Amino acid sequence: MLHQTTAAITSNGPVVVYRDRSDEEIRDMSIVRLINDEWTKPQAVHEDHWKIAGCPVNGPRISNYENTLAVTWFTAASDSAQVNVSFSSDGGTSFINQSESMKGDHWPGRYCYVRR
């Protein structure tokens, strides 16, 4: 089930990042990539383990240059509101340097990632 998607075209082809939903109501970010005309199985961008019995309205955002990706997303895992960012240098095959970019008690629900 796809919720709140974002997409980009890398040097290797299209990628889609979305807020996934497990049977246990975990809402982590996942990525799929189109390889040889077939979509890969979903892979976690990062496992926040945000459990919420509802449908968050804010999904991820992606920015890329060739095969370098930056993905940002809101989470409230462990009752801590924050915006995270993960980076990939291989078109989304793997992600590194996940960090909590912003924390706080109140969030407006929308954000963006600005590429410089």
**Using CA atoms, how far apart are residues 49 and 90, in angstroms rounded to an integer?**
24
Report yes or no on 87 lying in a domain: yes
Report yes or no on 53 lying in a domain: yes
pLDDT of residue 58: 81
Range of the domain at 16: 5-103
Q: Please count the structural domains in the chain.
A: 1
pLDDT of residue 115: 47
Report yes or no on 113 lying in a domain: no
Report yes or no on 50 lying in a domain: yes
**Using CA atoms, how far apart are residues 64 and 80, in angstroms rounded to an integer?**
28
pLDDT of residue 100: 59
Ordered per-residue pLDDT tens for the chain, 116 residues: 445 789 999 999 999 999 999 999 999 999 999 999 999 999 999 888 989 888 777 889 999 999 999 999 988 888 888 888 999 999 999 998 666 555 555 544 544 444 44
Report yes or no on 10 lying in a domain: yes
Report yes or no on 47 lying in a domain: yes
**Using CA atoms, how far apart are residues 93 and 110, in angstroms rounded to an integer?**
27
pLDDT of residue 57: 78
Side-chain-side CA neighbours of 50 within 13 Å: the count stands at 26
